[in-house]
Amino acid sequence: MAKILEKKLLREPDVFYFKLAAPLISKKAQPGQFVIVRLHDRGERIPLSLADIDPRDGTISLIVMAVGKTTAEMSVMKAGADVLDLCGPLGTPTHIENHGKVILVGGGFGIAPLYPIARAFKGVGNEVFAIMGARSKDLLIYEKEMAGVCDRVIVTTDDGSKGMKGLVTQALQQELEQGGVGLVMTVGPAIMMKAVSEATRPFGIKTLVSLNPIMIDGTGMCGGCRVRVGDQVKFACVDGPDFDGHQVDFDDLMSRLRRYAREERAAAERWSEGCRMKDLADPADPAVELLELPDPFEEVKGG
């Protein structure tokens, strides 16, 4: 059981910040690792990256984007509520060493896990640049936090509403052409990580990507998170999540991410239908408390 100590809406309407009491995890966790969360005894297990770790006050921070049933359920939890299980720290920490100049490229919720990674690279003497991309300025998160731990932050927006107009790869290309880059690391949507890896390939610059395949146990036993890296099959939960971006088969990763789309859609629809039923019911009616949210998988069994 882990108590939610703080919750904030980070970005309208669907990105939330949570600070949780996790004294044991915070003592061991390192940048690049993640936890697996189960909200309640009927809940599924979902992996979430550590957006911050504070062993002094025994807390960890998570940034959650509500994209489906479980993340939507978490987004309505309030400070003071308990998360049933928090398993971690999981995964291999990001390898931190001095490369001279490091460029971190983040998109979507991927910017959040880059925050402790940026601090760690800075801590061993690197010059750290961050390139943060979003479709428009309202969709950016963690800009101030990243500016606090990086030497320079470059913002790109697809519509030009903030920073440079265009994609993160355009800003990256300009930086690469100036030379002197020892490492590029990227966290975000698979398609963005693929494009970043292709941008660095001609320059021969080592490029780390933090992969986000479907994970179930997170301990190397179920095989759900397998990814193709070079001529090998790796389990992202134990061998990663960081891998050499020039070796990753992104097309295989993206097709595996789409595999459960139908079931995920059905689960989200049933959950929001359950919420609507609760909203419509008379709150004074004692039966409301007993109104169970439906089994998210019932509809798709045998399908």
Ligand X SMILES: Cc1cc2nc3c(=O)[nH]c(=O)nc-3n(C[C@H](O)[C@H](O)[C@H](O)COP(=O)(O)OP(=O)(O)OC[C@H]3O[C@@H](n4cnc5c(N)ncnc54)[C@H](O)[C@@H]3O)c2cc1C
| Chain positions contacting ligand FES, by CB under 6 A | 215-218, 220-225, 235, 237
Q: How many CA atoms lie within 13 A of 65 on its CB side?
A: 15
Q: Does 65 participate in binding ligand X (rule CB under 6 A)?
A: yes
Q: Is 46 in the site for ligand X (CB under 6 A)?
A: yes
Interface segment toward ligand X; rule CB under 6 A; list 79-87, 123-131, 142-150, 207-215: 207-215
Work out the angle between the directed axes of helices 190-200 and 168-178 (0-180°, nearest 10): 20
Q: Give 160's strand partners.
A: none
Evaluate the omega torsion of the peptide bond into residue 93 and state whether it is cis, within 30 degrees of 0: no
Phi, psi angles (nearest 5°) of residue 28: -100, -25
> In degrees rounded to 5, what are phi and psi of residue 119?
-60, -40
Q: Which stretch binds ligand X (CB under 6 A): 3-11, 67-75, 95-103, 200-208?
A: 67-75
Mask for 95-114, x = binds ligand X (CB under 6 A): --------------x--xx-
Task: Determine, following the binding rule CB under 6 A, whether residue 242 of this chain makes contact with ligand X.
Answer: no
Burial pattern 79-92, b for ≥16 Cβ within 10 A else e, equals eeeebeebbbbbbb
How many CB atoms are located within 10 Å of the residue 103 CB?
A: 27
186 near ligand X, rule: CB under 6 A: no
Query: Least distance to ligand X from the beta carbon of 71, Å?
Result: 3
What mask, x for binding ligand X by CB under 6 A, covers residues 147 to 166?
--------------------
Indicate whether 25 belongs to the interface with ligand X (CB under 6 A): no
Nearest residue to ligand X on Cβ basis: 68
Closest CA to 211 of 49, 28, 25: 49
Q: Min. distance of Cβ 123 from ligand X in angstroms?
A: 22
How many other CB atoms sit within 10 Å of the CB of residue 110? 26
Q: What is the largest CA-CA distance in the chain?
A: 68
Give the residue with the Cβ less far from ligand FES, 176 or 225: 225
**In the complex, least distance from residue 45 CB atom to ligand FES, rounded to whole angstroms:** 9
Interaction between residue 188 and ligand X (CB under 6 A): no
Based on its alpha-carbon atoms, the radius of gyration of the chain, rounded to whole angstroms, reads: 20
As given in the structure block, the two tokens for residue 171 are: 């800003």
Enumerate helices (H) and strands (E) in the chain, giving the number of each.
10, 17
- The answer to whether residue 48 forms part of the interface with ligand X (CB under 6 A) is yes
User: In the complex with ligand FES, which residue's Cβ is closer, 216 or 254?
Assistant: 216
CB of 217 to ligand FES, least distance (A): 4
**Choice from 68, 89, 107, 133 touching ligand X (CB under 6 A):** 68
Q: Choosing among ligand FES, ligand X, none, which partner's interface includes residue 218 (Cβ < 5 to 8 Å by kind)?
A: ligand FES
- The interaxial angle of helices 190-200 and 250-257, nearest 10 deg, is 170
Pairwise CA distance, residues 136 & 161, whole Å: 6
For ligand X, the closer of residues 48 and 120 by Cβ is 48
Q: 206 is written with which tokens?
A: 């080592």
Residues engaged in binding ligand X (CB under 6 A)? 34, 46-49, 63-65, 67-71, 109, 112-113, 212-215, 241, 257, 264, 268
